[in-house]
Amino acid sequence: MMKKSRRSFLKVAAVSAIGIGAAPAISLSSSSTNSHGSSHAAKSPNKGAKTAKRWGMVIDTSKLTEEVVEHIVEACHKAHNVPDFNHEVDEGKYPKTRPVNHKQEVKWIWEEHFHNAFPDKEDEFLADKFKHLPFLVTCNHCINAPCVKACPTQATFKREDGIVLMDFHRCIGCRFCMAACPFGARSFNFRDPRPFIAETNPDFPTRSKGVVEKCNLCAERLAKGEQPYCVEVSKGAIVVGDLEDPESEPRKLLDKNYAIRRKQALGTEPSVYYIM
Amino acid sequence: MSKSAIFTGLVIFIIIALFPFWINFGKTAPVPEPELVGKAKTAKKCVLDKMDMRANHMSLLDEWRDSVVRDANRIYTNTDGKEFAMSLSTGENSCLGCHEDKSKFCDKCHNYASVDPYCWECHTEPKEIK
Amino acid sequence: MLEIAIKGSKKYWIWLAILAVIMTAGVIAYIDQFLNGLMTTGMSRDVSWGFYIANFTYLVGVAAGGVMVVIPFYLHDYEKFHRITILGEFLAVAALVMCLLLIIVDLGQPIRALNVMLYPSLKSILFYDMLVLQGYLFLNIIIGWKVLEAERNQVKPPAWTYPLIYLSIPFAIGIHTVTAYLYCGLPGRGFWLTAILAPRFLASAFAAGPAVLILLCYVVKKFTKFDPGWEAMQTLSKIVCYALIANVFFFFCEIFVVYYSNIPGHISHIDYLFFGLHGHNAMVPWMWTSLSLMFIGITLLIVPWLRNNKFLLPFTCIMIIAGTWIDKSLGMIAGGFVPSPLHHVTEYAPTLKEGMITLGIYALGLIILTVLYKLATTVKEEVRG
């Protein structure tokens, strides 16, 4: 008798606990529509923002030198607060920082050999100049991006203008996107990046530990009507523009030159072209 | 089961449940007074009315971040037709562009309420960097 | 029914205490990982999944393997399995709890885990994996509990449990198929990009799951008054044998396709696992051990007088569990990520902390298993005596 009543009590208690747990969620969803009476408020893009139907990048490999490549990588990483594991940590500000594992580094754009950038185009008799050329690789902002499909929270998503972006607020750090990306474009924050940022750029957030990051094609610059950092310091080696617009700079270059993309056979349709 | 065991358990439970009360007993924290400095002082109104801001700034920011990150809409025009950059810390008419001192404004209430919004794990106040 | 779990012998409590200590060590290691990030692990930019996901994959298999007792008993009225069906279901429960925990500890931002439900992404296989894993977990809890309760009261289980039991069968196949789809749908990973992956996962699961179950039958027999029955164990060992043969067969199908087609993007991974690549060969001894163990396992199970040897069988099972574990957890992760999409070779080895956290989760799984098995065996003793 006693047992039965305890049991039914527990059942009722469990149901009420679920109810109490669900209540805030229900009230939240019902109140979010009229939370601050901003019925006439509006959100809009910046005036003068650069727009495109599909953003793309053309890299002229003949203009890549060690020096240019170094500048590009540095400009990008500095502006986006990408941590540098070779940076000497300020012990005063970040005491007891543990030693780094360089295999856990973060990078948005970096240098590779031809046979690493294009492993499926490895060639015994490749022209010598390509063998030693510093190839720049980064996110390809694919049309059929496998990372976007893989992401279980839509933290990685494709904007209408073709840029594949990360919402760092939403990322749960499952790293499925890293397994999915055929270009190794993604990095995970295995640790708090801040101790390894020499000079923080206040106009761009740093990341927290536990989220994935990658090149954002300088979405924050395009929004202000500016060119991406890499383009700015590339001395003409990198051009970014609208691939759907036949009059755009990248399209004019592609009209005149032979260009290849990485791992085309996979059908992800990269938006980054390399002029050979 | 014996009565004494039940009562001991109950007492332990009550002590644990009332932890926040007895740990803070006798201590009082002064009511926070967030300071409006610089531009925020001269401006008559924030993005929304004062009370609305006080109650809903977090959901406003939540809405903003989705708008900026996902829709590339970075300008917020409020009901008075005034424009704001939907950004915590970038530029003149961002949050911190107007509320020039985070420690005198945001932190005041956040510390009092013992909340630690993770915004600042990534976003930076320009002043704190230097 | 739960009151059975708090009345146990001294041995029972000591065993639980040992497990609790191991679990606590795991919790301590996890607190460090939670505060400092996954830097505490051996994972890297190139090998972005490691020991957690490896063990997750294996345990999904163990959970799915439980269906190998459910199908004969409920679909074919194979009475010998009547006594051990509950053991299979409760094994699935413990394995699934471990799986979910392994996913949680693998997350960089575990606090945001519920974003998966808040912003469901219908194209992501991970979303479906979460659904089937949770579904199968709840099905097994409900079925196991209700059937055991009915047995205790010596009545038939309520009628509504039967549809759930039948539903649990496709779910079991489902959890492992969807887990395989996590891997094999990715365009850039030649090692995983094969349609045989899901069948191979299932074959290895139907070997590993029942092998674990046979071992547990020995344990149950030794430490309780309940006898699962030698004949049931014999049938299980035949299931293990055929499943293991299927697993090795599928593996050789893969080997044939990869080496005969001679496509570099597919060869390099298997080369790395079995022969080493560019001088990196950490996995080579493991993979050959795994293959040998599976072959020995097949031999010991296929020959009747070896299979019928009561003394030998548990050792055979241990070999098979070790062989399939290396194959499916270590091999699956290392083979998939090495070489990287840019053909760099970055090797991976778990750190001590990673091991402690995983071990802690295994300890918790064993606690759950112990308690559930105690319930099951006690009820069965009661009913008989």
ipTM of predicted assembly, 2 dp? 0.91
Contact A173, C109 (CB under 8 A): yes
Nearest by Cα to A135 from A160, A118, A152, A155:
A118
Confidence of residue C93 (pLDDT cuts 50, 70, 90): very high
Q: Do B59 and A35 touch (CB under 8 A)?
A: yes
Residues of A in contact with C188 (CB under 8 A): 146, 180-183, 263, 266
Residue A107 located in a structural domain: yes
Which H helix or E strand runs over C222? helix C197-223
If you measure CA to CA, which chain C residue comes closest to A179? C48
The CATH number of the domain holding residue A207 is 3.30.70.20
Residue B98 located in a structural domain: yes
The CATH number of the domain holding residue C105 is 1.20.1630.10
| CA dist C330 → A241, C65, C342 (Å) | 44, 19, 21
Q: Do B79 and A38 touch (CB under 8 A)?
A: yes
Query: Could you list the residue range(s) of the whole structural domain that residue C326 is in?
Result: 2-384
Nearest by Cα to A203 from B68, B94, B119, B57:
B94
Among B71, B78, B122, the residue with its CB nearest the CB of A205 is B122
Beta bridge partners of A112: A135
Average pLDDT over residues C198-206: 96
pLDDT value of position A26: 55
Contact A187, A212 (CB under 8 A): yes
SS3 readout for C55-104: HHHHHHHHHHHCHHHHHHHHHHCCHHHHCCHHHHHHHHHHHHHHHHHHHH
Residues of A in contact with C179 (CB under 8 A): none
Residue A256 located in a structural domain: no
Identity at A156, one-letter amino acid code:
T
For B38-76, write each residue's pLDDT tens digit: 788 888 788 988 888 889 999 999 999 999 999 889 999
Number of domains in chain B: 1
How deeply is A78 buried, as exposed, middle or buried, from its count of CB atoms within 10 A (0-12, 13-18, 19+)? middle
Among B60, B72, B77, the residue with its CB nearest the CB of A42 is B77
Residue B77 located in a structural domain: yes
Q: Do A184 and C106 touch (CB under 8 A)?
A: no
Nearest by Cα to B91 from A42, A227, A225, A203:
A203
To probe the interface with B, which of A2, A43, A163 has the most B CB atoms within 10 Å?
A43
Residue A150 located in a structural domain: yes
pTM here is 0.90
Longest dimension (CA), chain C: 65
Residues of C in contact with A118 (CB under 8 A): none
Chain centroid to CA C348: how far?
Answer: 22
Mean pLDDT over all residues of chain A?
A: 89
pLDDT value of position A123: 81
Query: Could you list the residue range(s) of the whole structural domain that residue B125 is in?
Result: 33-129
Q: What is the DSSP string of C352-372?
A: HHHHHHHHHHHHHHHHHHHHH
pLDDT value of position A37: 47
Confidence of residue A122 (pLDDT cuts 50, 70, 90): confident
- CB-facing half-sphere around the CA of C218: CA atoms within 13 A: 17
Residues of C in contact with A207 (CB under 8 A): none
Number of domains in chain C: 1
Q: Do A41 and B74 touch (CB under 8 A)?
A: no
Residues of A in contact with C106 (CB under 8 A): 174-175
Residue C160 pLDDT exceeds 70: yes
Contact C306, C312 (CB under 8 A): yes
To probe the interface with A, which of C1, C36, C109 has the most A CB atoms within 10 Å?
C109
Terminal Cα distance for chain C, rounded: 17
Residue A91 located in a structural domain: yes
For A10-46, write each residue's pLDDT tens digit: 777 777 777 776 665 555 544 444 444 445 788 888 8
Identity at C313, one-letter amino acid code:
L
User: Helix (H, G, I), strand (E, B), or coil: what is residue B75?
Assistant: strand
Q: What residues 222-261 of chain A have any CB closer than 8 A to a CB of chain C?
A: none
C-alpha–C-alpha distance, residues C300 and C294, integer Å: 10
C-alpha–C-alpha distance, residues C319 and A211, integer Å: 39
Contact C50, C41 (CB under 8 A): yes
Residue B13 located in a structural domain: no
Among A116, A152, A184, the residue with its CB nearest the CB of C116 is A152
Number of domains in chain A: 1
Residue A211 pLDDT exceeds 80: yes
Query: Could you list the residue range(s) of the whole structural domain that residue A105 is in?
Result: 64-224
Residue B104 located in a structural domain: yes
> Helix C197-223 and helix C51-65: axis angle, to 10°?
70
Residue B111 pLDDT exceeds 60: yes
